[in-house]
Chains A and B, each alone.
Chain A
Amino acid sequence: MSADTNPAENTELLANPPVDGSELIRFDKVTKRFGDNTVLDRLDFSVDSGKHVTLIGPSGSGKTTILRLLMTLTEPDEGTIRVGGDYLTHEERNGKLVRAGEKHIREVRKNIGMVFQQFNLFPNMKVLRNITEAPVTVLGLSKDEAEQRARDLLELVGLTEHIDKYPTQLSGGQQQRVAIARALAMRPQVLLLDEVTSALDPELVAGVLDVLRDIARTTDITMLCVTHEMSFARDISDQVLMFDSGRVIESGPPEKIFSEPEQERTREFLSAVL
């Protein structure tokens, strides 16, 4: 499969704007409520480009909400989010910050890709078209270019022989690998991974995680990952953020968070999931 793919080749395949380690994502005092429930409470955090960041914490602590905010699937009640220096849901007009129009949001959003817990492949399209649809209609690639890109990515995720199948003909693990290829085909700067193995049968988890490890190792794509797979988090992360009640209560490199956490709450959480 992809384990011995030449890293240089992959970097080419997933060419991002050059990664300089500068700040790519910034949340400024972001608050998100669902009814009376405050999921995120004036959250501040930032991610530097090229970093692989894992968000951990008990369910309901707001991790998935962060990814959904970045993907503009939901909007913050207060605060601002910036991606690559651009406001995500706001625009500066005459020195004032106003709600952004659809066009602005789409432009910023193009830099972000997402893989969902439930795969969400388009069941009416074959694998190939699932991957080429957006590059052709959104990025304006020619059909040939998009198909070549799709073939390269399917090779990366080890599914070349399934190119002409419909999603329902694939196992959950295979579908999720197609979903990863589909997200990467847009060459996003940021890849959001929302509990991508939670819906999979246990024996299919490893295949998906191997693909992601590969991508994390051989590309400089920025990753934001919500997962309950702690060994995976340990493998790929540059930084782990521990969430509780909508706030980051502890952060650091995985060795530190997993081996010698400072917060009692982190220790409790880790002993429950490990």
Chain B
Amino acid sequence: MSWDWNVVDDFMPRFWDGVLVTLQALAIGTLIAFALGLVWALAQRSAQAWVRWPVVAVTEFIRNTPLLVQLFFLFYVVPNFGPSMSPLTTGIVGLGLHYSTYTAEVYRAGIDGVPAGQWEAATALSLSKGRTWRAVILPQAIRRVVPPLGNYVVAMLKDSPMIATIGAFDMLGEAQAFSNETFTTEALTVVGVAFIVIAYPASLLIRALERRLVR
């Protein structure tokens, strides 16, 4: 089988549609994962057992079940009793929710890594709880966890094709559909390259950020 650039040309319009879906899923999914993960991490440290306990249970459950099952559940089961969302929205929520349980662990480790002396200094200065978190603990914790958080962005990119299973056609979904219709394989190669083109600069960015933040 030989390489045919005409096939690549034919694929391009759908490819760009797929890229748009992938990037949307990645960008918004990342925002959800980063924000929600922090909420989980803080809730897990709550003094109130009735806050702590359900959050631990839910995050453990989500972290220990497959993303694919969660996507199916969100798309096919949830509409029976809850909101019905488009395939793309469902995919983004699914990715963000799934990865938020991982980022929660990362934040937790970062918070635990802030020396006890920082809490004590905040107490000695009578800083309020909220001020201690916002001005002292979180800035130090988050600085520590940028590299591992960044790794999860790359991992999420690599998991993003799963949303095609509920009909949100990302680049790989588009490529697969195109290949099946045309009995060609070029589109799959194009997408493979596209993943590297997105992921590698992302890794470099994370490393650069890491060098800047760790001092």
Q: Is B89 part of the contact surface with A, judged by Cβ < 8 Å?
A: no
Interchain CA distance A106-B135 in the complex, whole Å: 18
Interface size in chain B (residues, C-beta < 8 A): 18
Query: CB < 8 Å: which of A125, A168, A183 contacts B124?
Result: A183
16 additional A-B residue pairs with CB within 8 Å, beyond A71-B123, A120-B120, A121-B121: A71-B120, A73-B123, A106-B128, A109-B126, A110-B126, A118-B115, A122-B136, A124-B140, A133-B125, A133-B131, A134-B127, A137-B128, A137-B135, A138-B126, A138-B131, A183-B125
Q: Is A57 part of the contact surface with B, judged by Cβ < 8 Å?
A: no
Please list 15 pairs of residues, one from A and one from B, whose beta carbons are closer than 8 Å in the complex, sorted by A's number: A73-B120, A106-B126, A114-B124, A116-B117, A116-B120, A116-B121, A118-B115, A120-B117, A120-B120, A122-B136, A124-B140, A133-B125, A133-B135, A137-B128, A183-B124
Given the interface contacts A137-B131, A168-B215, does A120 sit within 8 Å of B126 by beta carbon? no
Number of A-B contacts (CB under 8 A): 61
Main secondary structure of the interface of B (DSSP, over half): helix
In the complex, what residues of A have CB within 8 A of residue B131's CB?
Answer: 133, 137-138
Query: CB < 8 Å: which of A73, A123, A134, A168 contacts B125?
Result: A134
Chain A residues touching B, range: 20 to 34
Nearest-neighbour CB distance to chain A for B162, whole angstroms, equals 38
Q: Is B118 part of the contact surface with A, judged by Cβ < 8 Å?
A: yes
Q: Is A186 part of the contact surface with B, judged by Cβ < 8 Å?
A: yes
Nearest-neighbour CB distance to chain A for B132, whole angstroms, equals 10
Residue of A nearest to B142 (CB): A124
In the complex, what residues of B have CB within 8 A of residue A138's CB?
Answer: 125-128, 131
Q: Is A160 part of the contact surface with B, judged by Cβ < 8 Å?
A: no
**CB pair B121 A123 closer than 8 Å:** no
In the complex, what residues of A have CB within 8 A of residue B14's CB?
Answer: none
Nearest-neighbour CB distance to chain A for B128, whole angstroms, equals 7
Given the interface contacts A137-B131, A182-B125, A186-B125, does A124 sit within 8 Å of B139 by beta carbon? yes
In the complex, what residues of A have CB within 8 A of residue B127's CB?
Answer: 133-134, 137-138
Shortest 5 CB-CB contacts between residues of A and residues of B: A134-B125, A120-B121, A120-B117, A114-B124, A124-B139
Interchain CA distance A88-B65 in the complex, whole Å: 49
Interchain CA distance A55-B119 in the complex, whole Å: 25
Nearest-neighbour CB distance to chain A for B133, whole angstroms, equals 12
Q: Is A245 part of the contact surface with B, judged by Cβ < 8 Å?
A: no
In the complex, what residues of A have CB within 8 A of residue B123's CB?
Answer: 71-73, 109
